[in-house]
């Protein structure tokens, strides 16, 4: 009897199951679209590591570290809503261009201070070649906003890959994207090479020994303002030049 009752119950359940509405699929989970922030800036620092940088090398590295810290730090009362990253490359010439990327796309909060254990001064100055390489690196990343910082203490003397016109064309492509290009003479005041590749006087500045870190911190704040859209471009004003000791550098270097 129990067997018969079970069979009748099962037979009754089958048509009921067949008539039941199919289960509705679960509603799709809303996907969050990741939209690039319009308040973002990527800094590309091209640092001359040639032999003549020996006397100020530790200071130059310290100034790069100062920039990385400052570009990611909001000023008092400023909203902390700027996305930032820093790339650092050093260059010299030894039989061919030596272009070494020491930091790539590093967010300031995870920046490990660069030291002389990673790179030391040597070789000659293939400035045009290095500019071409740095612009190509930035073009591969293709950020919306970028600041290309060229820091050197000497003039071009050993490029083999591209000419002055080639370096100018590379920076023209960068400027056409709306990227900023600035030139810092580290204890150096001859800006012929900067002018040759289209860097205007307003975007180039001589910086004296002992002033590199402060000037790079100032540049980092200007980079933040550019990234946030508060300034359309980066220019060096008279206060910046006084802080950098530019007049003293020009006097010492005969410019």
pLDDT digits (tens, 9 = 90+) for 85-124: 999 999 999 999 999 999 999 999 999 999 999 999 999 9
Instruction: Provide the pLDDT for residue 29.
Output: 41
Using only C-alpha atoms, the chain has a radius of gyration, in whole angstroms, of 28
Q: Enter the pTM of the model.
A: 0.85
**Residues in contact with 222: Cβ distance below 8 Å, sequence separation at least 6, in sequence order:** 231, 234
Structure tokens at 172: 């023209």
Cβ 134 vs Cβ 46: under 8 Å: yes
Q: What is the DSSP letter of 38?
A: S
Question: What distance, in Å, lies between the first and last C-alpha atoms of the chain?
Answer: 114
Write out the two tokens for 234. 């980066």
pLDDT tens across 24-49, in order? 444 444 433 333 456 899 999 999 99
Over the stretch 123-143, which tens digit does the pLDDT of each residue have?
Answer: 999 999 999 999 999 999 999
Please provide the average confidence, as pLDDT, over all residues in the chain: 89
Dump pLDDT digits (tens) for 211-236. Answer: 999 999 999 999 999 999 999 999 99
CATH class of 40-253: alpha beta
pLDDT at 13 over 80: no
Query: For residues 225 and 237, what is the distance between their CA atoms, to the nearest angstrom?
Result: 15
């Amino acid at each position: 009897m129990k067997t018969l009752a079970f069979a009748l119950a099962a037979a009754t359940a089958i048509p009921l199951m067949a008539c039941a509405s199919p289960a509705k699929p679960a509603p799709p989970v809303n996907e969050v679209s990741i939209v690039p922030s319009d308040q973002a800036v990527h800094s590309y620092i091209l640092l001359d590591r040639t032999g003549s940088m020996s006397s100020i090398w530790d200071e130059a590295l310290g100034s790069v570290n100062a920039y990385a810290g400052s570009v990611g730090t909001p000023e008092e009362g400023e909203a902390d809503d700027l996305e930032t990253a820093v790339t650092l490359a050093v260059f010299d010439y030894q039989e061919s261009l030596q272009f070494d990327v020491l930091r790539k796309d590093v967010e300031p909060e995870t920046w490990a201070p660069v030291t002389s254990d990673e790179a030391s001064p040597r070789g000659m100055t293939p400035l045009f070649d290095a500019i071409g390489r740095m612009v190509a690196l930035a073009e591969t990343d293709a950020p919306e906003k970028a600041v290309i910082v060229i820091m050197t203490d000497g003039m071009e003397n050993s490029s083999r890959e591209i000419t002055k016109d080639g370096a100018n064309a590379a920076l023209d492509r960068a400027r056409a994207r709306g990227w900023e290009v600035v030139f810092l003479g580290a204890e150096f005041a001859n800006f012929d090479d900067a002018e040759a590749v289209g860097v205007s006087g307003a975007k180039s500045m001589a910086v004296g020994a002992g002033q590199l870190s402060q000037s790079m911190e100032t540049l980092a704040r200007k980079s933040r303002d550019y990234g946030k859209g508060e300034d359309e471009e980066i220019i060096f004003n008279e206060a910046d030049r006084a802080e950098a000791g530019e007049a003293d550098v020009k006097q010492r270097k005969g410019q």
